[in-house]
């Protein structure tokens, strides 16, 4: 919201501030890259809600605000006399977004929780990893946090639109586990209808073949996704096995799912004879969906990320101290609307 012009004031506990200031890779000034990345464009003040003076100061801010976002456990704000029913007396048009691990109601509402708990409780961690192996972290440790931020923003915007029509505010209830749970495909109806319990499948897809990650001759990996029979026909031609597109054992998606191991073996062998860039080019020429499995160094070097200015370098200014350059992700819409950031292409990253 701040990137699009909203004035965002972050309230932190006096004395030690937000714990995120100390999480992540430390840089000069005693902060971390994680904090500098996520707290950018925000103003910060300290306020003790538990004290009467702090609560009154908060109400003065609410009186002038459009949106309040809080992530205390349910009942905490009410304990301080700052719940939604209290705040709407101060400002009847206020929108209050409440982000918790399990939501504002239900038997688990009082439980503490963070993104990792949400990944586990929602069923995501169960699906990540190799068959029979340990459940794994789904890439980003804070995935549920970031997705909940998106849902919180959508909820706030919907509530603001409602306010435009009625003049009344609303409160928005966001649970970390729900934001993950809503991103599943057919897993819910498949269990409800047929009792199917999906297990971890590594890089495989339960309903699409070939649709996986494959190792190239140089040790790198590519992703190939043939989500239709037509795409598989193109792949069969590129592999040099056009007959596979007409073989009853592989001509349809259902047949390929049934014969997954055979199909994947053919694709794996073919990919294994090519270096990554060569393989990607062959697939592009054949109009086969394929892409490299990038690490962060690949991303910084990739011309597409740079052409679209997905990486921005900003200077974090501190009183009487030198600036600390920080790279972060940026939305294209922001770049088109606001011309306030350095568009320098991404070089090799260096420490602050």
- List, by residue number, the catalytic residues: 145
For residue 25, which phi and psi values (nearest 5 degrees)? -80, 120
- How many whole angstroms separate alpha carbon 20 and alpha carbon 31? 9
Helix (H, G, I), strand (E, B) or coil at 246: coil
**Spatial distance between the Cα atoms of 165 and 172, rounded to a whole number of angstroms:** 17
Half-sphere exposure of 121 (CA within 13 A, CB side): 18
Alpha-carbon distances of 55 from 10, 13, 79, 285, 336, rounded to whole Å: 15, 13, 11, 63, 39
**Residue 118 host element (H or E):** helix 115-121
Distances from the Cα of 218 to the Cα of 68, 221, 276, 334, angstroms: 51, 9, 7, 38
Residue 211 in 3-state DSSP?
A: strand
Q: How many CB atoms lie within 10 A of CB 178?
A: 20
User: CA nearest 36: which of 313, 335, 338, 342?
Assistant: 313
Work out the burial of residue 31: count CB atoms within 10 Å of its CB; fewer than 13 is exposed, 13-18 middle, 19 or more buried.
buried
Tokens describing residue 76: 């905490």
- In sequence order, what E strands does the chain have? 9-12, 43-46, 67-70, 95-100, 171-175, 211-215, 221-225, 290-292, 311-318, 321-329
């Amino acid at each position: 919201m701040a990137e699009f012009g909203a004035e965002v004031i972050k309230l932190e506990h006096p004395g030690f501030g937000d714990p995120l200031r100390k999480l992540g890779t430390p840089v000069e000034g005693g902060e971390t890259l994680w904090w500098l990345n996520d707290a950018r464009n925000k103003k910060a003040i300290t306020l003790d809600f538990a004290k009467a003076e702090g609560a009154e100061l908060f109400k003065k801010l609410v009186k002038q605000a459009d949106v309040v976002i809080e992530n205390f456990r349910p009942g905490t704000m009410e304990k301080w006399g700052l719940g939604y029913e209290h705040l709407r007396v101060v400002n009847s048009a206020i929108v209050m977004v409440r982000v918790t691990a399990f939501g504002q109601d239900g038997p688990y509402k009082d439980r503490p929780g963070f993104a990792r708990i949400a990944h586990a409780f929602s069923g995501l961690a169960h699906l990540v990893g190799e068959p029979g192996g340990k459940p794994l972290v789904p890439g980003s440790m804070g995935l549920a946090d970031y997705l909940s931020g998106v849902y919180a923003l959508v909820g706030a915007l919907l509530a603001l639109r409602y306010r435009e029509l009625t003049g009344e505010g609303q409160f928005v209830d966001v649970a970390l586990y729900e934001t993950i749970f809503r991103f599943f495909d057919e897993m819910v109806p498949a269990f409800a209808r047929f009792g199917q319990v999906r297990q971890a499948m590594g890089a495989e897809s339960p309903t699409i073949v070939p649709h996986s990650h494959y190792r190239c001759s140089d040790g790198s990996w590519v992703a190939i996704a043939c989500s239709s029979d037509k795409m598989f026909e193109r792949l069969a031609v590129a592999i040099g096995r056009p007959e596979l597109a007409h073989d009853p054992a592989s001509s349809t998606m259902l047949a390929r799912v049934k014969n997954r191991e055979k199909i994947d073996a053919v694709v794996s062998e073919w990919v294994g004879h090519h270096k990554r860039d060569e393989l990607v080019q062959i697939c592009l020429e054949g109009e086969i969906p394929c892409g490299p499995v990038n690490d962060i160094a690949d991303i910084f070097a990739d011309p597409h990320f740079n052409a679209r200015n997905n990486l921005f370098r900003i200077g974090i200014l501190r009183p009487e101290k030198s600036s600390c350059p920080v790279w972060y992700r940026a939305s294209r819409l922001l770049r088109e609307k606001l011309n306030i950031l350095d568009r320098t292409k991404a070089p090799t990253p260096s420490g602050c």
